[in-house]
Amino acid sequence: MSIDWKQYELQDGFYDELISSPGNARQPARQLANYLSSLTEEDILSRKIAAESTIKDMGVSFTVYTEGGNIDRAWPFDIVPRVISRNQWDKTAEGLKQRLQALNMFIDDLYHDQKILKDGIVPEFVLKQSKNYRKECEGVSPRFGVWAHVCGTDLVRDKDGQFYVLEDNLRVPSGVSYMLENRSIMKRVLPEVFEKVNIAPVGDYPENLFNMLASLSPRKDERPVVVVLTPGIFNSAYFEHAFLAQRMGAELVEGSDLIVGKDDCVYMKTIAGLERVDVIYRRIDDMFLDPEVFHPESVLGVPGLMRAWRKGKVALANAPGAGVADDKVIYAYVPEIIKYYLDQDPLIPNVETFLCYDDKQREYVLANLDKLVVKPANESGGYGMLVGPHSTKKEREQFADLIKSNPRNYIAQPTLALSTAPTLIGRNKVEPRHLDLRPFILQGKDSYVTTGGLTRVAMKKGSLVVNSSQGGGSKDTWIVDTGTSKS
């Protein structure tokens, strides 16, 4: 029995990415929907098995830390892709570039004149209580004034079909390798669809990443030496570190592979001797980068690295201190930040956000914990948050105490009607599951936005938590050219 889209049960109050009404696919997804409905149950099952085999063959995995050790798991993947029209995506990409440009101007201002604080746009105490502000970065001027060179911005669609920014990830955002591998899997599983549908490619990301990193090099007359600095094989994103290094033709290094010389330049140890490094794409948190400046017992970083960076002898991406804008309290001010630095209105709106340090807003949050999502300012990966409608009374009481004891550290947002997309359940049944989208934006000399991004999907029925560490999965994201159509 094939997929019957008339039997697909749309959820009331939610925007579905593929199906607009029972039996009717949105225009960008029509060819896909028709193809899937032409497959037999055996066809669908064989493609699902093929995807699982491909994932194992390619070694696509992620690490979970929460079950008594480091557990490597195969990447959870759904073979029904998400489809977005090219017309809508082009507008979204412009909004993402706008947002990162303003955030970089904001970060640069904070480490120099702090005009935005003096003008009262962002309260000064928000910065003083920031977990990720680094005094060691004050006065540094990275090339092009860019601090966050790689940003993963999480987007969601509400019931109106409009994209909203849920949060910005400006420290060491991960997931782009899975976006690229998702496409490789889909080309093996549904090759015939790629011949019929005008799906925008995604494979140019590693080249664009390398070109952006190369543009940061302090040496202008030579081909720059770019390395990827990883914490090592036990890091949850190690697969991505190795993947990107290989795709860029860059060396994958650990802290022990690098030294800072007496000339304050960074060198890589090779069998032929020391080789100068120009650009480090670091996948290590600030506090472990340099034991001379941050965590003194860190063995992950490189002694003297901050000195080399401050003197302009090496470029670091993302720059230390960029995480000051990777704060959910700062997130609430991004529309004002865009207006302040660019004199423009945001092209992509924020989700409505309540700041718990404000007395009136905190009062509202505490009275409505059962309806809201509460997040700590600097956690990631879905940890440390309260999803009000799915919480217990005891959990709400605990969060009320946390908010009262440290109101600066919490924000709250309405429980969004996250969009859904058909997801394969069992052998051939498709059911709606909630999802989000993480496109990746690069900024150096030029700006670049991935064509689509990493779609993460909550595999559990009714769940709004899409993180792989919390049981979520992933889909390939198709940007389909349909002229002036809008998905």
pLDDT tens across 94-148, in order? 999 999 999 999 999 999 999 999 999 999 999 988 989 999 999 999 999 999 9
Statement to judge: residues 230 and 289 lie in one domain: yes
pLDDT tens across 195-235, in order? 889 999 999 999 999 999 999 999 987 789 999 999 999 88
Among 313, 339, 365, the domain-final residue is 313
| 378, HSE (Cβ side, Cα atoms, 13 Å) | 16
Among 313, 344, 367, the domain-final residue is 313
**383 in a structural domain:** yes
**394 in a structural domain:** yes
Statement to judge: residues 252 and 301 lie in one domain: yes
pLDDT tens across 388-442, in order? 998 999 999 999 999 999 999 999 999 888 899 999 987 778 999 999 999 999 9
Q: What is the largest CA-CA distance in the chain?
A: 71
Which residue range is the domain that position 389 belongs to? 354-414
**467 in a structural domain:** no
Statement to judge: residues 306 and 377 lie in one domain: no
**382 in a structural domain:** yes
Q: Minimal CA–CA distance to 450: which of 437, 462, 439?
A: 439
**62 in a structural domain:** no
Q: How far is CA 332 from CA 91, 95, 114, 336, in A?
A: 22, 16, 18, 9
Domain count, the chain: 2
Where residue 365 sits, what CATH number does that domain have? Answer: 3.30.1490.270
Where residue 263 sits, what CATH number does that domain have? Answer: 3.40.50.11290
**243 in a structural domain:** yes
- The more confident residue out of 72 and 257 is 257
Q: What are the φ/ψ torsions at residue 181 (nearest 5 degrees)? A: -70, -35
The predicted pLDDT at position 486 comes to: 38
Share of the chain above pLDDT 70, in %: 94
Paired tokens of 329 = 């309290």
Statement to judge: residues 296 and 382 lie in one domain: no
- Is the confidence at residue 25, as pLDDT, over 70? yes
Round the average pLDDT of the chain to a whole number and report it: 91
Paired tokens of 393 = 């009374």
Tracing tokens 């093929």 back to the chain, one arrives at 50
| Structure letter (DSSP) for residue 286 | G
CB 197 within 8 A of CB 478: yes
Residue 479, strand partner residues:
84
Label the pairing between strands 354-355 and 315-317.
Answer: unpaired
pTM of model > 0.95? no
Among 362, 397, 414, the domain-final residue is 414
Share of the chain above pLDDT 90, in %: 77
**376 in a structural domain:** yes
Statement to judge: residues 359 and 306 lie in one domain: no
Statement to judge: residues 298 and 240 lie in one domain: yes
Residues 6+ apart with CB under 8 A from 268: 225, 227, 251, 253, 257, 258, 274, 275, 276, 277
Stretch among 138-142, 184-188, 262-266 having the lowest mean pLDDT: 184-188
**347 in a structural domain:** no
